[in-house]
């Protein structure tokens, strides 16, 4: 029997292309258990997630809600016939996988389903560097590139959900002859600036490239082009840049400077002209933005139902 005075117990899933991170708890300082599973097939991976939550429920009581922040593209619109599914993806076996359905069969609680980056944005809004803001962006630059947007107090979905990693960028083929790594667009933002692109272009992983390597000036330039475009488009009050590549300490100052150069004084705000260091920032939750974002999604889902 659920005691009304007990704190809520949320299930959180950060679904990534290489691993799934699951947690149960009530907030960043109240995580009761956590588990990681290698991403294999939807049936196997979601089966491990379900089993983890069931085991935790036996120990700690029923979950109040589940938040699922997942790699995309995906359908986050509850009114759509394909809600809760992964949309066509190059990832083998995952196209059309009904991942929310696999949870719903086992758990009769509110389930929030959104992109990994929208989840991370909500986590940063609740507990990280976007507290008190009404409009901001969370961008991850890692194996892939993706962005979540929180606009006037709500996560932005629109037609499906933003795909900020796949915008076209200016690509100077003399300076950078690499053709790009995106299977859909070649030299889109992700195709030029993801961890995969870095590795293919330079023959080694980003973490192995010296901070003084020419790779970083190019990388910062691509990220800065994208941030300048987002700044012009959504007028965010802040941009949070995370991910394995995006969180590299030596990259951030270059990105800040180059973004300000691209904007070139056009946006007359002290946030950009004088305080770019607090306009473009790394995540407050570090590499925990994803799983804590899923927790924040769960809390929001429960609040909506109440």
Contact window for Zn ion (CB under 5 A) among 48-56, 158-166, 228-236, 238-246: 158-166
Alpha-carbon separation of residue 16 from 6, 9, 143 (angstroms): 31, 23, 10
- Least distance in angstroms from the C-beta of 205 to Zn ion: 21
188 binds Zn ion (CB under 5 A): yes
Q: What share of the chain is helix, strand, coil (3-state, %, to 5)?
A: 40, 20, 40
Cβ distance to Zn ion smaller for residue 181 or 218: 181
Q: Which two tokens stand for residue 45?
A: 């991976």
Looking at the Cβ atoms of 124 and 219, the one nearer to Zn ion is 219
Segment interacting with Zn ion, rule: CB under 5 A, options 48-56, 186-194, 278-286, 291-299: 186-194
* Minimal distance, residue 1 CB to Zn ion, in Å: 51
Shortest reach from residue 166's CB to Zn ion, in Å: 4
- Cβ atoms within 10 Å of 183's Cβ, excluding its own: 8
Confirm or reject binding of residue 226 to Zn ion (CB under 5 A).
Answer: no
Q: Choose the binding region for Zn ion from 140-148, 163-171, 193-201, 254-262 (rule: CB under 5 A).
A: 163-171
DSSP H or E stretch at residue 45: helix 42-60
Interface positions, 93-152, toward Zn ion (CB under 5 A)? none
Q: Which is nearer to Zn ion, 190 or 219 (CB)?
A: 190
* Closer to Zn ion by Cβ: residue 84 or 180: 180
> Which pairs with CB-CB distance under 8 Å and at least 24 residues apart come from 254-261?
254/216, 254/217, 254/220, 254/224, 255/220, 255/223, 255/224, 255/227, 255/280, 256/280, 257/220, 257/224, 258/220, 258/221, 258/223, 258/224, 259/223, 259/224, 259/227, 259/228, 259/231, 261/224
164 or 251: CB nearest Zn ion = 164
Nearer residue to Zn ion within complex by CB, 185 or 200: 185
Among positions 85, 126, 161, 166, the unique one binding Zn ion when judged by CB under 5 A: 166
Q: Are 164 and 217 in contact (CB under 8 A)?
A: no
Rounded-to-integer distance, Cα 121 and Cα 112, Å: 14
Q: How far is the CB of 84 from Zn ion (least distance, A)?
A: 24
- Least Å distance, CB 83 to Zn ion, is 24
**Nearer to Zn ion among residue 110 and residue 144 (C-beta):** 144
- Closest separation in Å from C-beta 217 to Zn ion: 22
Least distance from C-beta 147 to Zn ion, angstroms? 13
Cβ burial, residue 39 (10 Å; 0-12/13-18/19+) = middle
Size of the site for Zn ion (CB under 5 A): 6
Task: Provide, rounded to whole angstroms, the least separation between the CB of residue 117 and Zn ion.
Answer: 15
* Interaction of residue 185 with Zn ion, rule CB under 5 A: yes
Residue 182 binds to Zn ion (criterion: CB under 5 A) = yes
Burial of 48 (0-12, 13-18, 19+ CB in 10 A): middle
Q: Rounded to an integer, what distance in angstroms lies between the CA atom of residue 267 and that of residue 284?
A: 26
Binding stretches for Zn ion (CB under 5 A) = 166, 182, 184-185, 188, 190
């Amino acid at each position: 029997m659920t005691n009304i005075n007990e704190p809520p117990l949320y299930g959180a899933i950060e679904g990534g292309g290489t691993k799934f991170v699951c947690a149960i708890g009530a907030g960043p300082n109240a995580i009761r258990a956590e588990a990681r599973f290698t991403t294999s097939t939807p049936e196997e991976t979601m089966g491990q997630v379900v089993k983890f939550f069931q085991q935790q429920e036996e120990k700690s009581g029923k979950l109040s809600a589940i938040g699922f922040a997942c790699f995309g593209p995906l359908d986050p619109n509850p009114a759509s016939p394909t809600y809760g599914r992964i949309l066509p993806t190059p990832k083998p076996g995952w196209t059309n996988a009904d991942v929310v359905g696999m949870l719903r069969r086992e758990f009769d609680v509110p389930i929030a389903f959104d992109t990994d980056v929208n989840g991370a944005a909500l986590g940063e809004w609740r507990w990280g560097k976007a507290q008190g803001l009404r409009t901001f962006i969370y961008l991850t630059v890692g194996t892939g590139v993706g962005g979540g947007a929180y606009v006037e107090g709500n996560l932005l979905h629109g037609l499906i959900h933003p795909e900020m990693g796949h915008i076209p960028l200016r690509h100077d083929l003399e300076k950078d002859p690499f053709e790009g790594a995106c299977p859909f667009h070649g030299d889109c933002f992700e195709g030029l600036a993801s961890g995969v692109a870095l590795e293919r272009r330079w023959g080694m992983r980003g973490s192995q490239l010296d901070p003084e390597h020419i790779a970083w000036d190019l990388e910062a330039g691509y990220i800065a082009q994208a941030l300048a475009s987002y700044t012009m488009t959504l007028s965010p009050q802040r941009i949070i840049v995370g991910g394995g590549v995006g969180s590299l300490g030596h990259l951030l100052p270059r990105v800040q400077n180059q973004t300000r150069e691209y904007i070139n004084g056009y946006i007359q705000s002290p946030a950009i002209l004088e305080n770019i260091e607090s306009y473009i920032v790394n995540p407050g939750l570090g590499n925990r933005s994803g799983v804590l974002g899923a927790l924040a999604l769960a809390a929001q889902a429960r609040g909506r139902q109440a």
